[in-house]
Amino acid sequence: MKKVGIIGCGWLGFRIAKILSEKFLIYTTTTTTEGSERLRAAGYHPTVVNFSDHQLPGQSSKWELIDDIDALIITIPISEKNCDASSLYNRIQNLASFIGDFKGQMFLMNSTGVYPDAEKEYSEEDLSIDNVSGERMMKNRYQQVNILRLAGLMGDGRLLSKYNVSNLDAVVNHVHYLDIAAIIMKMMELGLEGKLYNVVAPLHPTKAAVINAQKNIPYSEEGLPEGRRISSAKLISELGFVFKYPDPRYFHLTDGFEPGAGGNK
């Protein structure tokens, strides 16, 4: 059975592990002993490691399991919105020390938050990897890396109606975690490398429409929705992918499993 490594097995990583474990052996990392115990109980072979922003480059030891891993999924933050440029450099250098010269299929999770907050529709062509520091550093070192820019993560009890929400007329860019897992599975099956995709549900209702649907309150949108839209057209076209959950208004109606609160990254 092939082996998949998930670096940063938090809320998303745990759910991806749950789905991929039906076909693969799962090896994970976490930052805490508590997270390790939870992952071990689930059968996901954890290693405790912390890619600290203040850790100097080269201080991470090579993952002793990496040579046996067939595909690698990285979910630790690699955005300058999470840390300054020097800390980001240190983080990626230590990640590289941990995984060495890994040659297998690789997936890097980033965010659609890299796009400007302007009222237009953005595709991957609007912002190249070269203009996103963390993506560029990873691509320069690992040419095979697939970069997935994820929209707002939803599903499994994570609902917009549970949050303090402003600007209700703005459209949402959300994605259900089950579709993320399905996209990774399809890309693994096709053996794809070096791809850049926006991973976002193709429909963009307003926040008000999503919240009212989740509260089972009738709602009729009036006026023109506001805000940026992130397009998943490239993903849909190149992979022939059909989203199981294309409309964020109905994410709460899914029958996703309930593993409890997400673990630490």
Largest CA distance in the chain: 57
Asked if the 3-253 domain carries CATH number 3.40.50.720, the reply is yes
- DSSP letter assigned to residue 61: P
| Mean pLDDT score across all residues of the chain | 90
pLDDT band per the 50, 70, 90 thresholds, residue 262: very low
Q: Would you say residue 25 has pLDDT above 60?
A: yes
pLDDT tens for residues 206-238? 999 999 999 999 887 666 788 999 999 999 999
pLDDT at 254: 72
Q: How high is the pLDDT of residue 38?
A: 94
Overall residue count recorded for the chain in this entry: 265
Residues 6+ apart with CB under 8 A from 86: none
The predicted pLDDT at position 258 comes to: 38
Q: Say if residue 79's pLDDT is above 90.
A: no
Q: What is the mean pLDDT of residues 239-264?
A: 72
- Per-residue pLDDT, 265: 33
What is the model's pTM?
A: 0.91
% of the chain exceeding 70 in pLDDT: 91
Query: What's the whole-number mean pLDDT along residues 117-132?
Result: 96
Nearest in space to 241 (alpha carbons), one of 232, 250, 249: 232
Confidence of residue 58 (pLDDT cuts 50, 70, 90): low
Q: What pLDDT digit, counting tens, does each position of 163-186 carry?
A: 999 999 999 999 999 999 999 999
Where do the domains of the chain lie? Answer: 3-253
> CA-CA distance, 241 to 257, in Å (whole number)?
22
pLDDT at residue 243, rounded to an integer:
97
